[in-house]
Amino acid sequence: FAIRNVPDRRKAIQQIADRLRPGGRLAVLELCQPSFLPARLFVKYAVPMIGALMSGGAMREYAHLEKSVLDFDAKAFESVVTGAGLELVEVTSINFGTVTLYVGKKPAAA
């Protein structure tokens, strides 16, 4: 749940891909902007307030969480995975789109 906070995602995924064996897989689970409107509103408004209440007032940190989730470009991340030479074998949206699982596979050696 942190790739959205990595400044150079392309470099990070490329370094991981370089270390995978042929046929090896990379799985990334990431928070995403929900496609379902009530879930999107919940992430935007409720998550920062609930998080701040439960953490003793860390409103700023939960505001960052909400902003980083809304700013994460899921389609661009798919391009990062394929740009690293991996086959994108699975993209699964979970929980009304609030979480997405990306699975890339390094092609088998020729």
pLDDT tens for residues 54-74? 888 777 777 778 888 888 888
d(CA 73, CA 32): 8
Question: Residue 89 is encoded by which pair of tokens?
Answer: 């074998």
**Cβ distance 11 to 41 under 8 Å?**
no
pLDDT tens for residues 73-98? 889 999 999 999 999 999 999 888 88
d(CA 17, CA 15): 5
pLDDT at 42: 85
Strand 99-105: give its sheet, edge to edge: 25-31, 99-105, 87-94
Residue 103 has pLDDT above 70, yes or no: yes
